[in-house]
Amino acid sequence: MNILDKIVIDKRKEVALRKELIPTNQLEASVLFDRDTFSLAHNLRNSKSGIIAEHKRRSPSKSVINQSLNVQDVAKGYENAGVCGMSVLTDGKYFGGSLDDLLLARASCKLPLLRKEFIIDDYQILEAKAYGADIILLIAAILSKEDIKQFSELAKSLDLEVLLEVHNEEELHKSIMPSLDMLGVNNRNLKTFEVSLETSKSLSTLIPDDFVKVSESGISSVSAITALQPYGYKGFLIGENFMKTDNPGVSASGFINELENN
């Protein structure tokens, strides 16, 4: 069993427990449920850098990345740096995140916020909206075509954008549908954790131009981004590169300046 299978088993149990505690009508009564959302797709289309910066404390592949920062400072720092959006990990067991991180990020900045989560249930999409997200992540590797359709259409009905993540051609083919906004290619092989930018390059021609193309994982240098831009990528999700520093905002700012002056 690979790490993704383990995460999904735990996630099903966790969501079942959460549903017992907080009914959907309580989520829908959240003060944030009716807010107008911010568009990440729009920001990426109109940006020279296309950086989506992440708040991530740890990961299964790297264990601890940074446990000492608070999410408010990270969000404000990223906003000041001029990133296009912020990804917030909300998985507790494997990534050390929480929905409170999303809530605090929302209170601290006006950036489009992506709820980075292993979504396997409609309930999590309502949670995303209730806690201030603008975008949800759907991972093709753990979802059927029917799931992707159901979840993406629910998200659109709630005025949330959808970033769908694929790892290979097979996942891409089952996933393409009009209810998606962005297609992300994850350069990390989830079975081996090896990272290769060739994954983004090889899949780029198969992604229709209606979708904003996003490359994820293994992007730690300006040269990686300039290598991917000719393949039509507009968005670049950077997870560990900024978070492993003492000041992710300053780190992101320097990175974006270098990229835009390149």
Catalytic annotation on 261? no
Annotated catalytic residue, options 47, 186, 251, 253: 186
Annotated catalytic residue, options 216, 234, 241, 251: 216
Annotated catalytic residue, options 11, 43, 56, 187: 56
Closest listed residue to residue 141, CA positions, set 174, 109, 105, 176: 174
Catalytic annotation on 216? yes
Annotated catalytic residue, options 39, 217, 241, 251: 217
Catalytic annotation on 56? yes
Catalytic annotation on 201? no
Sign, CA torsion 228/229/232/234: positive
Catalytic annotation on 258? no
Annotated catalytic residue, options 79, 127, 165, 240: 165
Question: 178-194 burial, b for 16+ CB within 10 Å, e for fewer?
Answer: ebbbbbbbbbbebeeee
Annotated catalytic residue, options 39, 43, 47, 54: 54
CA–CA separation, 102 and 104 (whole Å): 6
Helix (H) or strand (E) holding 152, with range, is: helix 145-157
CA–CA separation, 86 and 54 (whole Å): 6
CA angle, residues 103, 105, 106, in degrees to nearest 5:
65
Catalytic annotation on 186? yes
Annotated catalytic residue, options 11, 66, 116, 187: 116
Catalytic annotation on 6? no
- The residues assigned a catalytic role are 54, 56, 116, 165, 186, 216-217
